[in-house]
Structure formats: structure tokens, C-alpha cells
Structure 1
Amino acid sequence: MVTLPPVSIHGRRLGEDVLSNANLTVNLPKPKAWARKREREKVATETATNTMVSAMDLFEKLEKVGEGTYGKVYRAREKATGKIVALKKTRLHEDDEGVPPTTLREVSILRMLSRDPHIVRLLDVKQGQNKEGKTVLYLVFEYMDTDLKKFIRSFRQTGENIPVKTVKSLMYQLCKGVAFCHGHGVLHRDLKPHNLLMDRKTMMLKIADLGLARAFTLPIKKYTHEILTLWYRSPEVLLGATHYSTAVDVWWLGCIFAELATKQALFPGDSELQQLLHIFRLLGTPNEEMWPGVSNLMNWHEYPQWKPQSLSSAVTNLDKDGLDLLSQMLHYDPSKRISAKKAMEHPYFDDLEKDPL
């Protein structure tokens, strides 16, 4: 087991102490610019393993396997052991920001959640330099050879349906991982097939990319909503709600569930308005009776009035129990949406062998 050095964020050390307290909620305050710069410089030093050895002295890059807003991801080999790992490279800002806040959040939250088998494991954090001599951070992860997006696409290309047992197993694992996050006070906020890693041989699924995750507290805090991926965004966020909690992640679960069953995105909107209209056409235009308070949300307008359609008309290959679970995940009223933990107890999963998961 790799021992990670402690990280200090705004005066709080996150590491062994977090793992020892399952109910600890992590809050990341927003200090003034000068304090943030000083603290992030400290984190950049403390986060990297306490050695002057560069990451590239320890690892050999084999190929780039991904790239996003927050860095590039490489498949790499640890030189000493030959072990294959994933390296997520994050360049430090040259301005006053220092270590990107998404990286700080990802490291601290991954340490808190690393005990669950359905959360991708952070093995280490290393410093290195790019070709221009600029300092970069490498997050060293266990390597998974595919993701759910590629997995679904492979079935779409062959024209075959994903086996029912496979859909059931993947959804149970996903619910289990999300329930673990929520039980430790963490909202993922960016669940989508691309962020769900898989092992092709074992069919193990792991939640990754926690850079947008947030610790939540009660009462519910105010959050931004612009950064969430559009197709899986919950209606309360689309309508401008800034106070939300675990129900937003459950909506994402429902969208992914439907996509596993049909191999197509359930609500593929190309704008916030079109996304809402996709949802309204299938689930009906919400009103105060079905969702108290909806008309008070910031982005609420007079929308076209649609009646609810049967989920079975849009989501094939799900039995009665599957459709019932999906309907509870896609409930308009966030307070009535099923929790990830409760979803694990749904009759849909009764015939699933859960012990090996």
C-alpha cells in the first residue's frame, strides 16, 4: 500500500485523519488571492512525494489515453516494477493561482474516498517538468483499460444489446460507489459514461474525475451550475437552482441507466433550453403539483405543456422493476428522488450476485 504525504489546504491536513473519520465533511473555503497563492504554493510542495526524484525518472509514458480541460492522461509503466498506471498531468498556473483548485479538490477527496473499490485509486502524487521546463504535477492512478462511454459505443457499433445481467451489475456498482461518496459528504457533480472507468476482463466499474466534486453540508450550500455536463444535468440545475444536494447525482444515475439499456443518450440536448425540452417531452412539463416550488426557480418560464409519456416508450430492454427504478431516479421533485443507497435495495437488483462486487 502506497503511503501518501499529507496535503494541507487552508490550514487543514487531509489524509490519514480523513480516512479515520467516515462522517467528516470537507469544506474548502475561498481565501483572498494572496492567501490562496501562498497556500497553493505550499500544497504544490507538500503534495508531491517528499523526494527530489522527478516523475519521469520513475515512469515511462506509453501513450496518451485522454485529454480534458484539467490536463492530459497517459498510460505509463513504473520503471522499478513494470506496473502499468495512469498518469494525469496538471500544469501549474504561471499566475497567482498556483495549483489548480480542481486538482486540490481531486486529491483531497480521493484520499477521503480511497477505501471504496468503486472509486478509482490514487496511488501517488509526483512533481515533474514538461519540455519547456515548467513544473507540472502528476497524479498517479491505478490503470483501467476502458470507460463506460467506449464500452457502450462498442455495443452500438456491433448492433448488439448490452446483456441484461451486465447492465444490472454495472448499475449496482455505480449506485454503490455514489452511495459511498454521498455517505462521506461528497457530491460528484459530473457523473457521465466518460468518467466511469472499467476493467474489460473483470467488468469492475470505478468512478473517476472528481475534480468537480464538492463536499456538502447541511443546510445545503450554494453551488454553481454552469460547469456540469449538459446531457446528464438535472432539471433543478437547468432551471437555475443553486442550492442542491445528492439528488443531482441520482439524476445522472438515471440518465446513465437509460443509456446502458438503449445505447443512446436519453436527453441529448445541445443547449440548456433544448435539454429542458427533451426532458419535458418525455416526463411531461412540470408544475407546482408534481414539483412544489418549481415556478420559483430562476430560469422558470412559461414552457410548452406536454403530458408525461411512458418511460417504456423511450427506454427499451428494461423490465418492470428496471423501469420502476428508473422512474424513481428521474423524479422531478429532488426531495422525492430515490437515494443511491436506497436504489441498491431496489427489487431490480434482487437476482444479482452482489458479494463479488
Structure 2
Amino acid sequence: MAVNEGSWRHVAVNGRQPPSPLPTVYGRPSGRRYLVERILQERPGPLGRVYLASGDSQQYVLKSVMQNDFTYFQYLYKDLQSSPYVRVADGAIPDKSMFAYKYFKDHLLAFAQEDVPVPLVKRLLRDSLRGIASLHGKNIVHTDIKPNNIMLDWDVADLDDAANVPDDAAIIGRQVGNWMWRSPEAHASGPELGEGEEKLVIVLERQLSYFSGLESLVGLLDYLGDSPWVQIFTVIAEGFDKKHPRAPFALCKDVDPEFRDLVVKMTNIDPKRWITVHEALGHHWFADID
């Protein structure tokens, strides 16, 4: 990466000046100049900051990956360029193991808080599933699906939390994705609960309350085998009683029955009972949109 020292400038972050000025950087081999405007996120460890930058009359997000992963993600993005439903890097800065992504202001988490017409909701969810289908078609698992990783102009984003997983393989030994959105079996892929992690217990309790039944819970525990998490899920499930009953989404009365059916089939906590993304796209709830 070439740094144009004459273009460095300071910006304020949370009322303070950063410890060093922000540079103008150049991507290779394109030669595009990225003028860093501000810091979007401070990340601990070697990944460092996420920047908002401008170049060629377009705003970009500059985000680093681990140096050893840079070539891997270059190939991954190249393999996904043909899909209109997956946002891949629009440029690269190899010297800093950094990628440039087109910047979009809104994502599904913010958009969902608005009064959105049902046909538009269906299109957003359908195109999000199409993005996931594009990944699955290449044996790529996006390990951090959440509303703020689904963009409005594009769909599945933030692919530095993705991995190639062949049909006969699985991700084990790691809790992938954001703790608020990961599935029960993904929680169980990491160590047991540590001190001060009560918030995770609340998340797990709500997942079992909304999306589990006796049959699916048995299926989850069978799937986990001798994992220490079997005891954790068992204790949480035994906490439901007449005073603190489960609140299954499957029994919600004020939800479109077809939409409810789709959600129930997609959120079954027994991994062996999931529907595939292609089965979800073929669900009759999507039948009335182009």
C-alpha cells in the first residue's frame, strides 16, 4: 500500500482526536485512491479499525482481515461475483490485507423498525435467502447471519465471517457469529458458560421458549451427543412450568399462518429437521411475488 502523507488529516471520534492521522491509501492493481473520511468501528486485536472512505465518487468501507486469510477471501469473493444477492469486495489493498466494500447506509435491522408493506418484506426476505442459496451452492456457510448483515441494496454482507464447509463436514469447536443471533447448536460448539454470561442464558431460554418443542429438544440433545451443553439446555428446558410457560411461535395467533409455517420450519432447533434454503425459497408464502 502506498500512503500519500501529504493527504493525511485528523478526524474526531467520540469527541477525541485519534492517536494518529488518517491516510489516503491506494488499492492495487486498480490504483484507485481511497480517501479515509472517518472511523466506523474500533476492533480489538490485529484487525484494527473499520474506515469509511471515498474514491471515484463512491463511498467505501475499508475492512481488514487476518493476513493469512487475505488470499482465501480474494478467491472466495471472485467465486461469488456472479451472484447479484451477495455483496463482495469491490476492491483490495493487499499491503494491508484490506478489502473495500461499497458503502450502504441502511440494513435490515433498521429497516424492519419501519412500517414496511408486506410485499416488500417478502422481496427482502426472498432475496436474502437467494444470497444464502448462492453461498450454499458453493459449499460456503455464512456464520454470522443477522439483520445488520443484510443490506438493502445488496443482501448477505460481511463475508469475512464465512467458511467453505463441504457436504460431509461441519464446524465444531467454535462459537460462530454474534452471540445474540447464533443458533442453539452454534452456542454449543464452544466452551461452557463462563462467569458473567447471564445474558447468554436469557438468549438460550428465549430460543427454547419460542422455537422448541419436546420432539425438537430431544433431537437437539441427540445431535449434541456427549457435549456438556446437553446439561445446560436440559436445565433451561426444565425451568419452564405453569408459572413460566414456553411461548412457541408456532402458536402465535396474530401472525399470517403461511409466514408462521415458514418461520417454524426454518427455526426448528433440531438441526436434522431444518428445511434447506431452496425449500424455503419454494415455500408458498413467496408465491405471490415476482
- TM-score, with length taken from structure 2: 0.72
> How far did 1:115 drift?
1.1
Counterpart among 63, 73, 83 of residue 116 in structure 1: 83
Higher RCO (C-alpha 8 Å, min separation 6): 1
Task: Provide, for residues 120-167 of structure 1, a one-character-per-residue CA deviation record: whole Å limited to 9, x for no partner.
Answer: 13222125xxxxxxx6343122232322223235x2xxxxx3321222
2:127 aligned partner: 173
Counterpart among 254, 257, 273 of residue 320 in structure 1: 257
Counterpart among 279, 285, 294 of residue 207 in structure 2: 279
Residue 138 of structure 1 pairs with residue 98 of structure 2? yes
> How far did 1:64 drift?
3.8
Distance 1:270 1:162 in 2: 34
1:232 aligned partner: 181
Residue 195 of structure 1 pairs with residue 149 of structure 2? yes
Query: Which letter does structure 1 place at the counterpart of 2:127?
Result: Q
> How far did 1:236 drift?
1.5
1:339 aligned partner: 276
Listed as ranges, the gaps of 5+ residues in structure 2 are 1-26, 192-196
Distance 2:164 2:203 in 1: 27
Residue 61 of structure 1 pairs with residue 29 of structure 2? no
Distance 1:324 1:340 in 2: 14
Query: Which letter does structure 2 place at the counterpart of 1:125?
Result: A
Query: Which letter does structure 1 place at the counterpart of 2:57?
Result: K
Cα RMSD of the aligned pairs, angstroms, is: 3.1
Q: Is the alpha carbon distance of 1:294 and 1:218 closer, same or farther for their aligned partners in structure 2, counting shifts above 3 Å?
A: closer
> How far did 1:106 drift?
3.4
Counterpart among 263, 266, 288 of residue 329 in structure 1: 266
Distance 2:91 2:216 in 1: 49
Paired residue total = 247
> How far did 1:312 drift?
5.9
Tell me if structure 2 keeps the 8 A contact 1:280–1:286: no
> How far did 1:321 drift?
0.7
Distance 1:88 1:116 in 2: 21
Counterpart among 256, 270, 287 of residue 350 in structure 1: 287
1:87 aligned partner: 61
Residue 163 of structure 1 pairs with residue 93 of structure 2? no
Query: Which letter does structure 2 place at the counterpart of 1:138?
Result: M
Distance 1:196 1:287 in 2: 32
Tell me if structure 2 keeps the 8 A contact 1:64–1:73: yes
Listed as ranges, the gaps of 5+ residues in structure 1 are 1-47, 92-97, 128-134, 156-160, 199-203, 243-268
Distance 2:83 2:167 in 1: 24
Counterpart among 296, 299, 302 of residue 225 in structure 2: 296
1:150 aligned partner: 110
Task: Provide, for residues 258-306 of structure 1, a one-character-per-residue CA deviation record: whole Å limited to 9, x for no partner.
Answer: xxxxxxxxxxx96433222111222346457851614625111132434
Distance 1:83 1:309 in 2: 50
